[in-house]
């Protein structure tokens, strides 16, 4: 099951998000053996070399060919002045000749620190450099991450190569319906990170608010688990995939990745999808304030 992008490329609907996972080499290699074909990484995760080792191990063992994989990398904030050097550094760590997709990790902006303002190139200055990466064959496609509608509108007003995707936080607690509608209209694929409302961001939120929260224990999820005879994770991932959303759950357990891929073998009803769409508690776990010193998004 593949998602067709606006440039004609196709990508898997379920992949591996590599942020803050351990045992990466084994997880990547074993997951590829179990059917994984989409891998998401980034400079900021500080594990590109380990992801590359896992991919190389899988290729050396003949588990798949490079062209079978869809690998996503991301441009970090401090590297916006020279995206070409950044992507070449990423490729060297991943031991690859090209990426399938390269994303601007956060919208261009300024860092507001205790030492003053650190300025970065505007998106108008950055995007032509991103487009040149496609022209030079360093990546087959380019896209965005953490962009809202206003940021995308700005980019679409002048870009030569349209972004193929926008990777954002999206899960039943935080269903971005307006952004999804806009991206659907503009044929920009949505990629969901934190798709299971797990990870450090969610844990920190719970800790800061002195409470307990687990999407897997919500009644609406448990009712669907009983109805479809699937795991809570499979229910949530299927909810995303059935709406055309690519999803990249992270896991340090290779067996969990195989379970995640099992979310593709059933079809949730439109009624159940709508019920989860309306469930959202509007809880966002990954904000940009810690990167920029202020909320740059509306």
* Distinct helix (H) and strand (E) counts, the chain: 12, 12
Dist. CA 110–CA 292, nearest whole Å: 6
Q: For residues 91 and 98, is the Cβ–Cβ distance under 8 A?
A: yes
DSSP-derived 3-state class of residue 270: helix
Q: Does 194 qualify as catalytic in the annotation?
A: no
Dist. CA 131–CA 129, nearest whole Å: 5
- Give the 3-state secondary structure percentages of the chain, helix then strand then coil, rounded to 5: 45, 15, 40
- Residues 6 or more apart whose CB falls under 8 angstroms from that of 116 comprise none
Dist. CA 249–CA 262, nearest whole Å: 13
DSSP-derived 3-state class of residue 70: strand
Dist. CA 284–CA 197, nearest whole Å: 9
Dist. CA 177–CA 244, nearest whole Å: 13
* Of 61, 65, 85, 62, the residue nearest 75 (C-alpha): 85
**Catalytic-role residue among 45, 174, 193, 194:** 45
Q: Any idea which residues carry the catalytic annotation?
A: 45
């Amino acid at each position: 099951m593949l998602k067709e992008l606006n440039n004609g490329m196709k990508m898997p609907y379920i992949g591996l998000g590599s942020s803050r996972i351990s045992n990466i080499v084994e997880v990547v290699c074993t997951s590829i053996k179990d059917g994984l074909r989409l891998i998401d990484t980034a400079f900021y995760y500080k594990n590109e070399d380990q992801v590359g080792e896992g991919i190389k191990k899988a290729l050396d063992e003949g588990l798949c060919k490079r062209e079978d994989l869809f690998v996503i990398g991301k441009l970090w904030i401090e590297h916006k002045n020279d995206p070409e050097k950044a992507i070449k550094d990423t490729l060297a760590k991943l031991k690859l000749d090209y990426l399938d997709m390269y994303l601007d990790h956060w919208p261009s902006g300024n860092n507001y620190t205790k030492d003053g303002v650190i300025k970065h190139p505007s998106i108008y200055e950055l995007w032509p450099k991103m487009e040149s990466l496609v022209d030079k064959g360093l990546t087959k496609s380019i896209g965005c991450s953490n962009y809202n509608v206003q940021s995308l509108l700005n980019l679409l007003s002048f870009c030569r190569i349209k972004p193929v995707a926008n990777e954002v936080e999206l899960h039943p607690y935080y269903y971005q319906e307006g952004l999804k509608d806009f991206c659907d209209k503009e044929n920009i694929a949505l990629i969901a990170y934190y798709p299971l409302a797990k990870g450090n961001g969610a844990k920190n939120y719970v800790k800061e608010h002195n409470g307990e929260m687990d999407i897997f224990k919500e009644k609406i999820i448990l009712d669907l688990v009983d109805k479809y005879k699937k795991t809570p994770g499979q229910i949530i991932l299927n909810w995303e995939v059935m709406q055309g959303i690519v999803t990249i759950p992270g896991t340090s357990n290779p067996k969990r990745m195989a379970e995640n891929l099992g979310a593709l073998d059933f079809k949730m009803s439109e009624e159940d999808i709508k019920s989860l769409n309306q469930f959202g508690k509007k809880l966002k776990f990954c904000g940009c304030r810690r990167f920029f010193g202020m909320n740059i998004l509306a």
